Amino acid sequence: MSDNKNKQDGRDRVRVDLNDPSEVEYFHQQFPNKTHEQIKTAIKYAGPLRRDIEQYLK
């Protein structure tokens, strides 16, 4: 799935792109006790939805 940065209709806010370093960094700021690799693993296993990733990391 490509992430079109020019499309701003809000649908993309509930999803996380594993290949976007800024989105991985955002989760690292939310969960500072987790490493970037742990966050990437969470995205892989929990799927792209933010709420599922947050649940996985908790």
Model confidence over 13-57: pLDDT tens digits?
Answer: 788 888 999 999 998 999 999 999 999 999 999 999 999 999 999
Interior angle at CA 35, CA 23 and CA 6, nearest 5 = 5
> Is the distance from CB of 3 to CB of 20 less than 8 angstroms?
yes
Could you tell me the pTM of the whole model? Answer: 0.75
The helix or strand, by DSSP H or E, that contains position 7, with its residue range, turns out to be none
pLDDT for residue 6 is more than 90? no
- Residue 31, pLDDT score: 93
> Is the distance from CB of 48 to CB of 16 less than 8 angstroms?
yes
Per DSSP, helices labelled H in 1-58 are 21-30, 36-46, 50-57
**pLDDT higher at 32 or 9:** 32
Q: Residue 51 and residue 20: Cα distance in Å, rounded?
A: 18
